[in-house]
Amino acid sequence: MTRVFHLRNSDRFGGPERLILDQVLAAGADTQHIVASFGTPDAAHPFLDRARAEGVETCLIPQSSSYDPRAPGRVRAAVRQLTPDVVVGHDYKANIFLALATDRPRVAVVHGYTSEDSKIRMFEAIDRRVVRSAEAVVVVSDVLRAQLLEAGVPPERIHEVPNGVNADRIAAAAHEGRASVRAALGLADEVPLVLVLGRLSPEKGQDTAIDAFAALGREDVRLLLVGDGASREALELRAASHDLSGRVLFAGWRDDPWACLGAADLFLLPSRSEGLPLALLEALATGVPVVATRVGAVAEVLEDGGCGLVIEPDEAADMTSAIRTVLDDEEGARARANRGARRVREAYSVGAQARRLEAIYASLA
């Protein structure tokens, strides 16, 4: 039996947390997982609560603030008490603290670097140095592999393991949630809805999405941004500058992204930077037509247009044209979406991902 200790700095149950929990729930009989996160004892811990509800062993690393100097010692104490064979860091804070606090075999998982502000850039630079000493580094795309090779990570330690999803469960939740999400938004079923799902941050490209939507010239279509972040006020002002009040909808943070995908008629990924976006795989699983930018592994996932339309980032005019193509050619959009739904089940299953990760853990235990 291989005991694996996963650490993530989390205050909500979002995409990375869904990914970790799905991997844990898909575990083979020879692997036992522990999910840990930082937090103040009296606060809510959605990630740990959800994991615990699924029967997963959990551990809270207490901290009085995000910069509590006692936290590394508490990580060390937790690892000593729980005696895992392997520890896994799922963000820069987890990677840094595990490097400081334990000599257990260490896996660093890198989903991508956002560089969204000076503080994040500093922490990400530290992370790229810290992961050099990990026994294994897991990346989700060739682009990230190249970045880490440039950062000095030994090539034999880098393992490319694409993200995986439970496609049937996602599709069922999407189908079940369509009516309730649309009702909450006040949208009739026949109103076309374009969905952008993700943190509101410059690298996610929602500003280009708004510009593209403004040029669409369709009064009947709505653009829904699901997510929160530092860019929200700027994006609201951008929508207002295009006179899109009431047509660009800001839903904020929601804990039902699959239901939101079910409500959509088109999933738009306007990102400037990605690894292998979980939201893209989830969208394909639901069978919604996709328009996405050529970043990270996106073109590979979409078979360069076979499963969804691929455009260059920051090209608002091309984005407008692609959105119009999907809305005007329902038959073509449906054919691509059906191919995408098959592809995500064949090539990006969470079971296959879990087996590949477990082989890495076992080799280090």
Domains belonging to the chain, first-starting first, are 2-164+349-364 (3.40.50.2000), 167-347 (3.40.50.2000)
Which strand (E) or helix (H) includes residue 106? Answer: strand 106-110
Q: Quick one: pLDDT at residue 143?
A: 86
From 332, 341, 292, select the one nearest 172 (Cα to Cα). 341
pTM for the full predicted model: 0.90
Distance CA 309, CA 60 (A): 42
Query: What is the three-class DSSP state of 164?
Result: coil
From 332, 286, 327, 324, select the one nearest 308 (Cα to Cα). 332
Distance CA 336, CA 352 (A): 24
**Most trustworthy range by pLDDT among 24-28, 39-43, 116-120:** 24-28
Q: Report pLDDT digits (tens) over 174-207.
A: 999 999 999 999 999 999 999 999 999 999 999 9
The number of beta carbons lying within 10 Å of the beta carbon of residue 259 is: 21
Q: Quick one: pLDDT at residue 113?
A: 79
pLDDT > 70: percent of the chain: 100
Q: How confident is the model at residue 83 (pLDDT cuts 50, 70, 90)?
A: very high
Q: Quick one: pLDDT at residue 24?
A: 95
Mean per-residue pLDDT, 108-137: 88
Q: How confident is the model at residue 116 (pLDDT cuts 50, 70, 90)?
A: confident
Mean per-residue pLDDT, 9-22: 91
